[in-house]
Structure formats: structure tokens, C-alpha cells
Amino acid sequence: MAEYLIKNGFVFDPVLGIRGDKADVAIKDGKIVETNAVKSPKVIDATGKTVMAGGVDVHSHVAGPKVNVGRNFRPEDKLFTYKPRNGIERMQGGFSVPTTIRTGYNYARMGYTTVMEAAMPPLYARHTHEEMRDTPILDQGAYPVFGNNWFVLEYLKNNELENTAAYIAWLLRATKGYAVKVVNPGGTEAWAWGLNCENIHDPVPYFDITPAQIVKGLIEANEYLGLPHSMHIHANNLGNPGNYTTTLDTFKLSEGIKPKSKFGRDQVMHHTHVQFHSYGGDSWANVDSRAKEIMDYVNSHDNITIDMGQVTLDETTTMTADGPFEHHLTELNHLKWANADVELETGSGVVPYVYSPDIKVCAIQWCIGLELALLAKDPMRVFMTTDHPNAGPFIRYPRIMKWLMSEESRKQQFDAFKYKDKVIDATNLAGIDRELDLYEIAQMTRAGPAKALGLAHMYGGLAPGLEGDVAVFDFNPNEPYAPDDIEKAFSNAEHLFKSGVQIINNHEIVSNGNKRTLWVNTKVNENPQVMRDVKEKFLRYYTVTLNNYEVSGHYLPNPYVIEVDATQ
Amino acid sequence: METVTLTIKNQPELYLEAETISPDALAGKKVEEILGLPVYVGREQHRLGDYFDVSGKPGATPAETKIVLNGDLSRVKYIGTKMTDGEIVVNGDADMYVGAWMQGGKITVNGNVNAFAGTGMKGGELIIKGNAGNYLGAAYRGDWRGMQGGKITVTGNAGSDVGTFMNGGEIVIGGDVDVHVGTHAEGGKIVIKGNAKSRLGGQMVEGEIYVFGKIDVMLPGFVYREDVDIEVDGVKGRFALYEGDIGERHRKRKGQTIYGKLYQRIEA
């Protein structure tokens, strides 16, 4: 493989602790190496530019059945957004639910190289893998959802931790999944009965188990197995005024539990898109920000990580396995609604949504997301996301960087709000003058998420031995710049390397890369009961047989298996 | 106002997609520049000059530009799409998407138009002297933002799905219409001077539909309220007022539920 030497750039790397100093980065055989280990490298002159590791997205909905429902039922999302084939680039289309091809290219243009699909319905794992396979460049993994799964509900009701763990290990292998995802625990199952679980003690109909039991049980099972990532949760009561108490109650379920993983993470719970879970008040008329209460908790508890779910003020497509929430949303905005029930496992809904700066609640949501990041004491535990496409399309990450790095740009946005004064009254953001620097941004977008995923040995930094994932941006942090310069530079990487392959050269995509799919293979002691339960449930309830369920080899032409041994 | 005349000289093998035929694209350009503007046949890009002769000259701004199109344009799509000002006169038939997403100015078609004329129209005036195809003043596929403003006048008949997801503006049809009128409408006004078939106002939330002739089948979601004497588009008469679609959600104003209104003339 070609050798590269990226010379003289301003490097921001939390792994090596480099804060914008001039440094060289060398790549050989797909990995980062010491600069003296390359013999005749191709030299990239990064003088006056910013150099970072490839970005890592911990939570994004980019592949699978609900994303495709979004594509199918929103032809207007593709209107005027098609781009014909050009050189190595294949045809692209779509805005909030882009084609797989555009997904890969647009992440690459922002300097991202690893993206995790945040919710995979196990029954449709094959579809999810087909779409990931067709997404160029990026290394990807997918999180199967467990929080409303009948096996899990039954085992945990009987406090059968070992069986829960064995089932998780089996399902991760069967679906080629990466982590344990939980969406509205119990609530989506309740939705099949026309109900919901609105707090962590609200029992699930028929199963007679509470969300608190599900969450705690899944954290414990996750640590029993020692998986690379922690349990990854979207808690109950998303998107409702006053829901911050449910969020804090959910956080507290992790108290006293320590990580037991060889993969270097410190958290036992990752709570996703916390913006949607940080509302005070008791109606949309008096909803306010509780980001402070939320961040007080997060800042003082090391075993939790979160991501933002930043509202970007765009027209977008919401999609989640939180079926009852999507129904609530379509009742609110009267736009089209898709709903699905996934047999014994989960459900989902899809609704378009317009986050308008002229609507007070949307502006408050915008403030809350930024407050979470700006009130973070440890940027290694608070990650940048938009819960793509729920709070906005991922292509807005550079815009969020701008808002986080520039108080002036936040003021400009406040001035553009129709109900500026009411928004300021209901939030804390106007009183926060913190401006993040690129080192902190690198923590939130690279080193932090890589560590939380248990992938710090591969991604998130520029230390020798890590993957050769490096982005060069045409941005000089030492020269004066306007806020918009940040967005412009980080939307359009000048150079990008993925596992040592040059993907972008002079802002132009020159390779479709060698995308890999990461999955976790966990060795557990034989568990005849769980295997018997699986067989029986497939015979009695599933519409498919096991043979048509498991994800086999050709769905993952380039797999990367992470082995975990939980037999000890 | 300056006039630029485009005369079609070659018919496209498939269909010509010509969003560039609009005062916004032509204003301030020299004839050579206009000849070089991009048009598409399938996925291939061509020059406007490959298909049209250009004479005269456009004005400096869209408002000062009038475009006259001559010849058989029945295979030319997107004439006047997104135009904001100025004028277009089409002397002949035109294909789909005439005046789609139009925001201002005026288009006159001295002939028939195919489907999707005035899709998502926001403002301006679209006059069709012949017949219109399906989806006149409707929303783009999947979109909930149909015609929102401006006025469409059709001298002849219109096809099915007139004013789907209409939110504002006015459509006046001199002749008859096919099925589905004002489906999902949340505003606006549709006047049908001829006859209608069936499924008028399905899932209509708000807005008005007037029918001068007969309606083959009235939807069960519409309820007769009263007879009213009104004047519509300069014509006075007595109309039966129906309200609906009662199966759809409706907002309240001062305690009063607002329905979609369907008027049918009972005597002149």
C-alpha cells in the first residue's frame, strides 16, 4: 500500500494530547505509523491546515427498513437534490434521507470515516446489512434493538441474567450486530396494545415488567458479557414536556454499576439524543430547558456518556423504533405517518418534520442541544450528533461546530428567531459564553465516541497503530476567521484517508474505499435453554424460519469481527 | 419589456426538460448565452440552441423579460418552472410541469398542457386557453404543499386530481373535471364551471370548491347545510352548500368548527 506523510498541519488529537501544534502524520499499510517508518511517502502539504483523525459517529440512522420507508414515502425529499454520476462518484439523491451512496460521500466530505447505524430491527437485519454494504467508504456497525424484545422481557422478568446475556450473544451473532440498543424500553411493546410506558415504573402490558427492570437488566447483561460498547439507550417519554425527570431516573439506573469490559470504555450507559429528553414544563406552552439539571448529573457521574441530538432547524424526516412517539408526532403536525410492528422484537414509525425558526418550541430545542455540549465538563463523554435524521441531517455537523465554537454565530441565530425573547427566557444558552476549541470538538467527534464504542484501539486518534483514518481541512485556526468559515471548511475536507486509502484528494472524491462492517462475536458458555427458547419462538410465533433470519456471509462482503470471550 | 422569441426547430427524441425556459434564467443574457443554456434529454445534457432558434432579446431583469415560444412544444417539460416575474406566452401545446413552483409573473398557453401544471405554485398567474391534464395546481408526489397562491385559469377541461393538497390561491376551470378535486385541501378556492364526476373534497380540511354543473357522485363525507345566494367569478346564482370532509380533522375558530365547503349551483 502507498505510504503517506501529512506534513506541517495544525494537529488536534486528544489521544496524543496535541492541541493544534504543528506535527506530521505518517500512514503505512493502512495504519498510522511513526513518521520515521515511512521510506518514500507521498507527501501531503498541510501547512496552514487542520489535521484530525477520521470522525466517528456513535448514533445515526443511515441504513435499514425505516430509513428506506423514509426514502420511499418522501419523494419530495429527493426533489431537486439529484446529482448525476461524475467520475468515480456514483449518482446521488436525497436530503434528509439520502441514498446510501450519498450517505457515504457526505460523511467522507465532513472527514468522517466510521458511522454506527443506531437501531437495527433484528428481523430486518438483512436489509440493514444490504444498505450498509452499499454505503461506500465508511466502516459501519449496527445496533440491534433489545428493549422491547419478548425474550428479553421474559428472561428479565424472571431475573435470568445469564439467559439474557446468552440471548444477546446469540442475537448479535445472528444479526451481525454491534451493540445492545434500547428504544423506549417496554413502551414500543406497549404500543402494540395501543399504550405506552411514560416513566420507568410504568409496567409493560401482559409482560408485567417495568422499563427500570429492562434497563437495569440489560446494563447488567451487557457488563456480564463485557461487550465493547455499553448499553445504548433512548429512554422513555422522549419529546414530552417535563420529561427530564424520566431521563434522570433512567440515568440513576446505572448507579453503582462499573464497566467490566476489556475494550477501555468507562461508561455502562450511553444515553442518546439527550436534547429530546431534557424538557421542563408541563405543556408546549411552558416547555423550558432542563439541560442544566441533566448536565449536572452527567458531569458528576463518570459511568455515563451522552450524545446531543442537536436540532438543526431544517425540514427533515423523523424515524424511530419509538412507535408511540411517532404517532404522537403525526397527531401534532398532521403530516404523513408510517408505522410498523416487528413481530416479537420492536416497532417503528416515520413522520416528516419541519423544525422552523419561527416556532418557539423548535428554537428552544435548538438551544437545549447546544447547552448540553457547552455545559459539558468532559467533552470525552458528550458527543456531537443530530440523531440523523431525527433532529436534522448529519450534513449539518459542521454548522453545529460553528455554533459550538462561536458565540457570535449563536447570537446571529437568536436574532433570526421569531420569538427570540421567549426562547431566551425558557433556556440558558444566551447566558453561556463558552466557545469550544477544535481540541474539544475532536474529543466530541473522534476520541470520545471511539472510546465509548470500545474502539479506541482502532479509531479516534492519530497514535501509531491506529487505523489510517485522517482528515485534512482547509482551516487555519491561528488566523482570524468568520463563523461561517468553520462550517465551510469542515463541510468539505481537502484530503481524507480511510484505513490508509486516499478517499478525497483536493476536495475531490477519488476512491470508494474498502468499507468494512463491524460486528461482535461473543463466546458464551453453552446455554441449551436459550437455544430451545429460540427454536420454540420461531416455530410458534415468527413468520420466518431461523434459516431465513440469520445474516449470513454474503451480506457482509468485508466483515471486521470483534471477538469477546465471556466464558470465564 | 423586451421580448425574446424561442422557436423549436428540432423535436427531441424523448422529452426535453427545459427548466431554463424562464425569465429568471434568460434575463440579462445575450443570444449566444441563451443558446448555450443547458437542457436535458433523459440523462444527457444538451444546449437550448440544439432545439430552439432564438431571436429578439431578453430584458435586464426577469420583470422586464417576455418569452414567446412558438412551434410544437408538446414534448417540452418544465416551461416557466420556479419563475418569479416577467411573462411567457406559449403558442401551442406544452408538456408537463408548466409553471410548476411558479412564484410570480404570468404564463399564457394558447393550447393544451399536460399534467402537473402549476404544481406547488406560490404566486403569479397561469392561463391555459385549452385543456389541462391531471394534477393541475396539485402537490409534487409525496409533498403536502400543493398550490399555495396565485391563480390558474383553464378555458377548457381539466383532468383528475385538481388542487391536491391545495393550501391557497385560486383555480378556475371553464369546462369539466375528472375525479378527485381538492383532495387533502387546507385552503384555496376551486371553481368548476362545467361538470364534475366524483370524489370531490376527499379528506378536505379547509377551502372552497364551487361546481356550476352536475356532480356524478357526492362523497358521503359531505353534509348538506343550506342554500345560499352568492356570486362566484362574476356569476350570481343559488348554490347548495355542503360541508366536509367530516371524517377529517378540523380546527375551530371562536368555538365554531371550520369545514371544507363544497357549493353546487342549483339555479342561475
Give pLDDT, residue B267.
75
Side-chain half-sphere CA neighbours of B3 within 13 A = 8
Interface of A with B (CB under 8 A): 73-77, 79, 84, 334-336, 352
- pTM for the predicted model, two decimal places: 0.96
Task: Identify the residue among B119, B144, B183, B249 best suited for mutation to test binding to A, counting A beta carbons within 10 A and taking the highest.
Answer: B144
Q: Cβ(A322)–Cβ(A401) under 8 Å?
A: no
d(CA A212, CA A198): 11
Q: How many angstroms separate the CA of residue B145 from the nearest CA in chain A?
A: 10
Give pLDDT, residue B62.
98
Whether the pLDDT of residue B83 is over 70: the answer is yes
The β-bridge relationship of strands B170-173 and B151-154 is parallel
Q: Which three cell numbers stand for residue B94?
A: 406544452
Q: How many angstroms separate the CA of residue A241 from the nearest CA in chain B?
A: 23
Closest CA to A379 of A333, A448, A331, A322: A448
Closest CA to A231 of A173, A132, A164, A176: A164
For residue B141, the tally of other CB atoms under 10 A from its CB is 14
pLDDT in tens, A242-297: 999 999 999 999 999 999 999 999 999 999 999 999 999 999 999 999 999 999 99
Give pLDDT, residue A553.
83
* Cβ <8 Å between A334 and B249: yes
pLDDT in tens, A548-561: 999 998 999 999 99
Whether the CB of B144 is below 8 Å from some CB of chain A: the reply is yes
* Cβ <8 Å between B140 and A74: no
* Cβ <8 Å between A76 and B249: no
For residue B219, the tally of other CB atoms under 10 A from its CB is 19
Main-chain dihedrals φ then ψ at residue A39, nearest 5 degrees: -90, -60
d(CA A67, CA A124): 12
Whether the pLDDT of residue A1 is over 80: the answer is no
pLDDT in tens, A308-348: 999 999 999 999 999 999 999 999 999 999 999 999 999 99
Give pLDDT, residue A480.
95
Interface A–B counts its CB contacts (< 8 A) at 19
Alpha carbon dihedral A323, A329, A335, A339, in 10-degree steps, equals: 10
Whether the CB of B254 is below 8 Å from some CB of chain A: the reply is no
Closest CA to A157 of A181, A186, A133: A186
d(CA A345, CA B225): 50
d(CA B158, CA B130): 9
Give pLDDT, residue B244.
94
d(CA B194, CA A310): 53
Side-chain half-sphere CA neighbours of A167 within 13 A = 30
* Cβ <8 Å between B142 and A334: no
* Cβ <8 Å between B141 and A74: no
For the residues A503-531, what does the mean pLDDT come to? 97
- Give the angle subtended at the CA of A510 by the CAs of A508 and A516, to the nearest 5°: 120
d(CA A329, CA A107): 28
pLDDT in tens, A139-168: 999 999 999 999 999 999 999 999 999 999
Give pLDDT, residue A350.
98
* Cβ <8 Å between B43 and A334: no
Give the single-character DSSP code of B258.
Answer: P
Q: Cβ(B80)–Cβ(B21) under 8 Å?
A: yes
- Give the angle subtended at the CA of B86 by the CAs of B83 and B87, to the nearest 5°: 95
Nearest CA in chain A to B140: A76
pLDDT in tens, A397-452: 999 999 999 999 999 999 999 999 999 999 999 999 999 999 999 999 999 999 99
- Alpha helices, DSSP H only, in chain B? 23-26, 31-35
Give pLDDT, residue A490.
98
Nearest CA in chain B to A353: B144
pLDDT band with cut points at 50, 70 and 90 for residue B51: very high
Side-chain half-sphere CA neighbours of A520 within 13 A = 29
Q: What is the DSSP string of A336-367?
A: --EEEEETTTEEEEEEEEE--TTSHHHHHHHH
Q: How many angstroms separate the CA of residue A141 from the nearest CA in chain B?
A: 31
pLDDT band with cut points at 50, 70 and 90 for residue A568: confident
Q: How many angstroms separate the CA of residue A483 from the nearest CA in chain B?
A: 32
Whether the pLDDT of residue B268 is over 70: the answer is no
Chain-centroid distance, C-alpha A51: 23
pLDDT band with cut points at 50, 70 and 90 for residue B43: confident
Whether the pLDDT of residue A222 is over 70: the answer is yes
Closest CA to B137 of B156, B115, B111: B115
Q: Which three cell numbers stand for residue A141?
A: 456497525
Of the ranges A302-306, A412-416, A549-553, B192-196, which one carries the lowest mean pLDDT score? A549-553
Task: Identify the residue among B97, B143, B250, B251 best suited for mutation to test binding to A, counting A beta carbons within 10 A and taking the highest.
Answer: B143
ipTM for the complex shown: 0.91
Whether the CB of B140 is below 8 Å from some CB of chain A: the reply is yes
Q: Which three cell numbers stand for residue A34?
A: 511513526
